Structure 1
């Protein structure tokens, strides 16, 4: 039977001269007390005083211990360990390429090294990977919810889940796919109708002699809005989380796509009683322009657009940095252009703000 060194021996003293030998996944490493004592709350630092506590204390910290070699064994990832011990030498931890960020976080938790010592770039990588896994977990949970059938649920709840799956999961059934394709076509039709309604040759004169959209186009517009409204209300009715549904970006787009129609309708029939007809017409025209928001509804039915939106969202900081450099360049070169050209009698650089246009088109296009 193996015996432990006496509590008063060199192995059990908690001092700066203690030498700790660890074997992590077959990789042997010698560490010294003065190095480990910088971070006494870490697992490696706790090894310095564990011998006096007996085998129970030792095996609560490591997987095995050889008293003959005075060596602690750990069945952990040696590559991650090489990164973790950098905190004792450099005061920070840098995650090497090829190591899973989530697994590396688990390694840091095992060695009791706080995440605050992780380098900023590695923290960003870890945060991105964590968000990806949370998104995957959310999607998996949705799939499990779709597959699971709770017999204890009432008829009303089961009806809600069926409607939600029918509208949100086009791949769930053939009718759901048909409805998704129909919705996609109606979005295209309403967008084309909105553009055709501005062609003078397709407009008609109203009783006051003003050009308005052709009645046929208005009827098509009304039919499309009716479909969008029904679709939104059904999805709102069947949503498991009404607040999250209402604040979702795509659902806000849906509201912006249908709201101008009803506001314009209200102003046309009731607004004339409260304000002048000219003001009502101007308000209606301004609201009708907001119909362009419905083109963004295509993203709901296009995985490619959703991927592009996700990529832009994840690159928000980088795009912001690019725009900041662009803004600095525009400001500097606009000021230089104004300074060089202001003395010319026919100059178009009459002020720095007027020079912004020249700088913008020069930096973002070929300059024409």
Structure 2
């Protein structure tokens, strides 16, 4: 049997030690992953009658927290999944229980976890980002928007065509829903947003932070378990120095905006982030104007300033025609930013003469 590892766990339990689900109509093929602390194990199985592959998620109730929040985790996930119908979110299929354990069945996707040691080029990371943002748009544009709360490499599957799939909705909640005290300690430090880390309310921008950190892991080839090395004690990420100069200034600025410490400095939602990302080239040095714009966008403070009626730039004795345009930004520019911007524009204009 060919080993199909999704979550980086090699399934070292002997085949005859797998749970016997034959009375429920399923046969376990291999173990896909486990969370020992939470008492959860995920198996790849198939239906005995049709050989259709399914994913079975085991919840060991004996590991549940005393206040029953652990017992209710699977109920929360099932309730969320039953509301969803998206091709990139594995569907909920069924559930059953045995003595001390509860099992949830989901659709199987032939895709590998980003938690594995896999390397992607910047353009591939961009394609994965677009695929994930489309999922988040679906979640955020519902009548009752859903926040996933646990976006990280281990909870994202990617197939050979770079289509992404979002899994593990055990921590998901409707936007605006009040979090319990116990849920404040859940999630993965380094990937959860600063507002969740400090116990504040969540918005659509909260999942964007988690996605941004995940993408930075891919770009910088950083293991998810090492992401804490890029976070200081005040829970501020030091991501900029890790980003390769190979990526374009626009893409770098986009990534840094996704992981801005304050949520109001990020994109408001997945739709806004996707609109900004699509026209951006993932690699390349960019023009002087692109470099300037990207640098300004990556600053922590936002700004409002217009760039209009740009003429032509003379580069190496050749005139490069740049169409007149208006770039209107919707944030507040600090005095130092304005002075730097004006100085750079003056130098650009002098090159025309």
TM-score (norm 2): 0.22
More strand by share: 2
More helix by share: 1
Structure 1 or 2, whichever has the larger Rg, is 1
